[in-house]
């Protein structure tokens, strides 16, 4: 019999309590209550709210396969004191997490029961379906498609794909959360609420295996006055029936970006990519429609007509010449078997003999030494041409790879005037790397490159001398080192590089002219480029006063270059602007304060590339400065210095002389710091160009800076460590800062004792280091509960001595944290941390914080219910725990070897 606690109640209450304890209860009710009456006739109602249990979603696995089930229990007016998993009458576990391995085929019903600290319980079930294991079965693959962005109430067709290498897909299922949206591969989806919708596609193969993939649909609100996008499906084309053709559509938007593409034939969706391969199977004319959607939801379409002709048979051979030095030597024609392709070819040796059905290297003895002509037909997907004397005809060979085909070629002559079939080639990396110019085919401008994905080092250290401006590179993703050292100055304005993710050193030492660079920038800025690409050109340098001027842009390409940097976050490595063609370039203007008649200011280059004009503010100036420059003032006072051109680093000595920035101008910074300028103020109304800045570390550290900087564009910055370190005055709004690319914020507001601004809207999802971020930020107490900290690995002393901070952080996901001392000496913090995932944590430090006995006890109970590590140390100082947590703490010590330093059991 359960007797409730009775305080200051008479004998009649005890009798009622005994009667209630002997009565039944309804387990389906949300609450249980008891009415108690004291001797004076007063009634007290004691009501407990029942807990809630959640066993999770149903599972489908292979028999004898292990699955981990994580049960959850919540109690709105108390805590969960125990968990129990059962199958039938068999108890499987008495904790929240269960490792379950079904040994028989069929459906297994498991029941999770949770009990709260008042003794009430609740249950939930989960069905684990165990299917028969298929020997050697390969699981399927699911593809939900690329993420989409549409307007609210707009309909979009989602096309899911499932593949199975050793079977077939028999079932499709689309879900949003637990809601099933469709059981077909494709369906129309119409969101009615602005936000981000995550949809899951699950495919099942004929052996019962399944796989899932997700797609995120960003649902935007309708914006009035939007300029519609433009669509270009390309020119009408002709193709032979059953042959493939690459179609590449282009979408542009003057006031936004293209977020979705769609190709249709009639009502049938063919592709949701900008480019795709089309293979018609009937003679005639096919009209295909290309539709683009911008980020405001507006759509525009264009069409292209494909004339499908009847095919003609053609089997022209690949014709090569080879040289035999001795008639007794065996000639070996080596194939590139390291690429994994299958060979099945015929070879006419040119001496009256031939070999059929060759699947590996071909071998032949000649009766005569000298040059011989050979002809090859059949499946011959790749070849190293450096073993032959000349290439006379490409023929009808359907190539699959040109990787390293002419690498370091020195003497091969290419006399072929026909065009090779590269329609299936996806790799041309190192194709002409280090080759001489005579090894370059004459028909290169006519090549079909539409299927190529990898062009890394294709022409590095090759003197390319042909026009390839019309190449279709719309499928290429890798152009690293493509023209490195090639001295090639070509027109790339027609290239569609929207899929390229790697352009490191693509044009380094390629001698790209300012005219062609400006054209490239203006054209590429209109494409929907990949983000965070490093674009490597020839950077200037100054090593021991040996000045090298690299690739530069002019006023004609300035705005397009800025657009690429700001919109797509590219890192562009060039030599800056041509100072002789800057146009209306606004200079950087600062005020330096000298304190004696012989004060000298030094502008140092430190082996970096500088090229600028400077007005020293005392009637003297210097132009085209590329080396370290010193200037001595004849009297003390304030001097306004004006700098225009390429001055990317704040490498000036005597920084303490700099007292005011009056104008940032158009100067592009790569690094800037005012740490040694303690009295700095910024009176400039414009913002600095920080698009090339990757680190703001120490920028305003140990200064009294407190000027508005919320209008700065910091979207490309990755490191903000120590940014306001020990700045005792700064307290400005930073809510508009885009810090989505930042990965490091250690010590950012360390000792910033006045800072207390709302930064709740910051996207911190990429940050990995928050070590001492608010250490000794004594006034900071803002709601940052919505921050996504799932990628953070270090929170050491994050809020130590931040004595005002006391916000609810229960929603934080600390899945990557190992050592948790974020609240050590956080003397104002007292929040419930029991919802956090401590599975990776090996140290917990909350010593000298303000965490209460109740919250500490909840934490201990939660820790004992998680799949935690052994031998973890907990330093809680004088914080005590209550009786509810006594057994949990005991089990952590005795079962897991945990070590506690706390205040013991509260009386």
What is the per-residue pLDDT across 350-368, written as a single tens digit (0 to 9) for each?
A: 988 889 999 999 999 888 8
Cβ atoms of 100 and 44 within 8 Å: the answer is no
Tell which residue, 812, 796, 860, 815, has the closest CA to residue 834.
860
The rounded percent of the chain whose pLDDT value lies above 70 is 92
What is the per-residue pLDDT across 25-41, written as a single tens digit (0 to 9) for each?
A: 344 445 555 444 444 44
What is the per-residue pLDDT across 46-76, written as a single tens digit (0 to 9) for each?
A: 578 899 999 988 887 888 888 888 889 998 8
Q: What is the mean pLDDT of residues 800-807?
A: 97
The rounded percent of the chain whose pLDDT value lies above 90 is 62
CA-based radius of gyration for the chain: 36
Residue 339 pLDDT level (bands cut at 50, 70, 90): confident
* Extended beta strands in 647-719, E state: 658-663, 681-682
pLDDT of residue 222 exceeding 80, the answer is no
What is the number of other CB atoms lying within 10 angstroms of the CB of residue 24? Answer: 5
Q: What is the pLDDT of residue 747?
A: 98
Cβ atoms of 709 and 730 within 8 Å: the answer is no
Residue 643 CA to its chain's centroid (Å): 37
Question: What is the rounded average pLDDT for all residues in the chain?
Answer: 88
Domain 52-131 has CATH 3.40.640.10: no
Angle (nearest 5°) at CA 749 between 822 and 717: 105
pLDDT of residue 83 exceeding 90, the answer is yes
Q: What is the mean pLDDT of residues 810-821?
A: 94
Q: How many CA atoms lie within 13 A of 707 on its CB side?
A: 20
Among the residue ranges 228-237, 528-537, 734-743, the one predicted with the least confidence is: 228-237
Q: What is the pLDDT of residue 238?
A: 82
Distances (CA, A) of 727 to 677, 759, 760: 12, 18, 21
pLDDT of residue 328 exceeding 80, the answer is no
Fold of 230-309: Immunoglobulin-like (2.60.40)
> Which overall architecture, per CATH, does domain 141-220 show?
Sandwich (2.60)
Q: What is the pLDDT of residue 654?
A: 62
Q: What is the pLDDT of residue 560?
A: 95
Tell which residue, 308, 246, 244, has the closest CA to residue 449.
246
Tell which residue, 135, 134, 101, has the closest CA to residue 204.
134
pLDDT of residue 15 exceeding 60, the answer is no
Distances (CA, A) of 905 to 833, 853, 897: 19, 9, 19
Cβ atoms of 300 and 229 within 8 Å: the answer is yes
Q: What is the pLDDT of residue 134?
A: 64
Residue 281 CA to its chain's centroid (Å): 39
What is the per-residue pLDDT across 845-877, written as a single tens digit (0 to 9) for each?
A: 999 999 999 999 999 999 999 999 999 999 999
Greatest mean pLDDT among 143-152, 237-246, 679-688, 896-905 lies in 896-905
Q: Report the C-alpha gap between 836 and 844 in whole angstroms.
A: 12
pLDDT of residue 43 exceeding 80, the answer is no
pLDDT of residue 706 exceeding 70, the answer is yes
Q: What is the pLDDT of residue 708?
A: 95
Q: What is the pLDDT of residue 31?
A: 59
Q: Report the C-alpha gap between 220 and 760 in whole angstroms.
A: 21
Q: What is the pLDDT of residue 652?
A: 60
Angle (nearest 5°) at CA 657 between 655 and 662: 95
Secondary structure element (H or E) that encloses residue 893, with its range: helix 886-896
Q: Report the C-alpha gap between 352 and 349 in whole angstroms.
A: 7
Q: Report the C-alpha gap between 683 and 341 in whole angstroms.
A: 66
Answer yes or no: same fold for 52-131 and 141-220.
yes
What is the per-residue pLDDT across 486-542, written as a single tens digit (0 to 9) for each?
A: 989 999 999 999 999 999 999 999 889 999 999 999 999 999 999 999 999 988 877
Cβ atoms of 831 and 837 within 8 Å: the answer is no
Domain residue ranges of the chain, discontinuous segments joined by +: 11-49, 52-131, 141-220, 230-309, 313-397, 399-583, 585-684
Cβ atoms of 715 and 738 within 8 Å: the answer is yes
What is the number of other CB atoms lying within 10 angstroms of the CB of residue 787? Answer: 21
pLDDT of residue 748 exceeding 60, the answer is yes
Tell which residue, 509, 505, 514, 575, has the closest CA to residue 542.
575
Residue 552 CA to its chain's centroid (Å): 30
> Which overall architecture, per CATH, does domain 313-397 show?
Sandwich (2.60)
Q: What is the pLDDT of residue 544?
A: 63
């Amino acid at each position: 019999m359960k007797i409730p606690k009775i305080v200051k109640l008479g004998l009649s209450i005890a009798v009622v309590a005994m009667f209630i304890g002997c009565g039944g209860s309804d387990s389906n009710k949300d609450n249980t209550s008891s009415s108690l009456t004291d001797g004076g006739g007063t009634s007290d109602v004691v009501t407990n709210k029942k807990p809630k249990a959640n066993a999770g979603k149903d599972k489908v696995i292979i028999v004898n396969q292990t699955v981990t089930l994580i049960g959850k229990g919540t109690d709105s007016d108390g805590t969960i004191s125990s968990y129990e998993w059962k199958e039938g009458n068999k108890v499987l576990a008495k904790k929240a997490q269960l490792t379950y391995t079904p040994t028989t085929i069929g459906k297994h019903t498991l029941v999770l029961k949770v009990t709260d600290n008042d003794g009430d319980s609740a249950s939930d079930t989960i069905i684990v379906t165990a299917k028969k294991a298929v020997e050697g079965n390969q699981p399927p693959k699911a593809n939900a498609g690329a993420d989409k962005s549409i307007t609210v109430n707009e309909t979009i067709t989602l096309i899911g794909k499932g593949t199975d290498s050793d079977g077939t897909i028999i079932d499709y299922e689309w879900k949003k959360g637990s809601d099933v949206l469709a059981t077909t591969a494709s369906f129309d989806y119409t969101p009615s609420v602005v936000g981000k919708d995550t949809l899951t596609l699950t495919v099942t193969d004929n052996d019962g295996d399944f796989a899932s993939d997700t797609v995120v649909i960003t649902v935007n609100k309708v914006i009035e006055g939007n300029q519609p996008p433009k669509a270009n499906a390309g020119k009408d084309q002709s193709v032979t029936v059953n042959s493939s053709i690459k179609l590449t559509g282009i979408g542009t938007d003057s006031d936004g970006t293209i977020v979705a593409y769609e190709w249709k034939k009639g009502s049938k969706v063919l592709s949701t990519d900008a480019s795709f391969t089309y293979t018609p199977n009937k003679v005639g004319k096919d009209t295909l429609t290309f539709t683009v959607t911008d980020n405001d939801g507006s759509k525009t379409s264009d069409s292209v007509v494909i004339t499908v002709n009847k095919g003609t048979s053609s089997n022209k051979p690949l014709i090569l010449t080879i040289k035999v030095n001795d008639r007794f030597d065996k000639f070996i024609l080596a194939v590139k078997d390291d690429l994994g392709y299958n060979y099945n070819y015929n070879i006419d040796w040119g001496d009256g003999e031939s070999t059929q059905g060759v699947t590996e290297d071909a071998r032949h003895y000649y009766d005569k030494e000298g040059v011989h002509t050979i002809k090859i037909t059949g499946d011959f997907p790749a070849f190293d041409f450096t073993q032959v004397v000349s290439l006379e005809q490409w023929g009808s060979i359907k190539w699959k790879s040109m990787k390293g085909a002419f690498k370091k070629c020195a003497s091969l002559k290419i006399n072929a005037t026909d065009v090779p079939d590269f329609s299936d080639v996806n790799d041309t990396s190192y194709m002409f790397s280090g080759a001489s110019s005579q090894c370059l085919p004459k028909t290169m401008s006519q090549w079909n490159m539409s299927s190529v994905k990898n062009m890394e080092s294709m022409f590095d250290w090759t003197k390319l001398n042909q026009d390839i401006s019309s190449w279709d590179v719309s499928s290429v993703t890798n152009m690293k080192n493509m023209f490195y050292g090639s001295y090639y100055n070509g027109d790339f304005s027609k290239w569609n590089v929207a899929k390229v993710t790697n352009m490191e050193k693509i044009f380094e030492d390629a001698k790209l002219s300012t005219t062609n660079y400006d054209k490239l920038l203006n054209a590429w800025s209109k494409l929907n480029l990949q983000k965070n690409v490093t674009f490597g050109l020839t950077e200037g340098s100054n090593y021991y006063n040996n000045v090298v001027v690299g690739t530069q842009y002019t006023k004609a390409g300035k705005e397009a270059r800025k657009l690429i940097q700001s919109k797509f976050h590219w890192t562009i490595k060039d030599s800056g602007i041509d100072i002789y063609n800057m146009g209306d370039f606004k200079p950087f203007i600062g005020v330096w304060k000298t304190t004696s008649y012989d004060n000298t200011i030094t502008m140092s280059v430190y082996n970096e590339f500088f090229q600028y004009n400077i007005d020293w503010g005392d009637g003297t100036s210097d132009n085209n400065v590329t080396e370290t420059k010193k200037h001595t003032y004849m009297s003390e006072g304030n001097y306004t210095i004006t700098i225009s051109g390429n001055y990317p680093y704040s490498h000036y000595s005597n920084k303490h002389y700099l007292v005011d920035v009056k104008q940032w101008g158009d100067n592009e910074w790569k690094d800037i710091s005012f740490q040694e300028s303690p009295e700095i103020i910024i009176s400039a109304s414009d913002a600095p160009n920080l698009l090339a800045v990757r680190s703001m570390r120490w920028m305003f550290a140990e200064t009294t800076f407190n000027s508005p900087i919320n209008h700065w564009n910091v979207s490309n910055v990755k490191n903000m460590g120590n940014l306001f370190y020990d700045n005792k005055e700064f307290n400005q709004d930073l809510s508009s800062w885009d810090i989505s690319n930042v990965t490091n914020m250690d010590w950012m507001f360390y000792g910033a004792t006045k800072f207390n601004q709302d930064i709740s809207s910051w996207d911190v999802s990429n940050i990995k280091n928050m070590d001492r971020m608010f250490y000794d930020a004594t006034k900071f107490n803002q709601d940052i509960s919505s921050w996504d900290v799932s990628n953070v690995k270090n929170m050491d002393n994050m809020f130590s001595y931040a004595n005002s901070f006391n916000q609810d952080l229960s929603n934080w996901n600390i899945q990557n944290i190992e050592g948790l001392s974020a609240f050590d000496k956080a003397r104002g913090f007292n929040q419930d941390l029991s919802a956090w995932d401590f599975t990776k944590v090996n140290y917990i430090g909350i010593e000298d914080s303000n965490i209460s006995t109740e919250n500490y006890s909840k934490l201990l109970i939660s820790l004992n219910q998680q799949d935690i590590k052994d031998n973890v140390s907990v330093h809680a100082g004088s914080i005590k725990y209550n009786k509810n947590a006594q057994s949990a703490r005991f089990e952590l010590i005795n079962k897991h070897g945990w070590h506690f330093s706390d205040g013991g059991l509260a009386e």
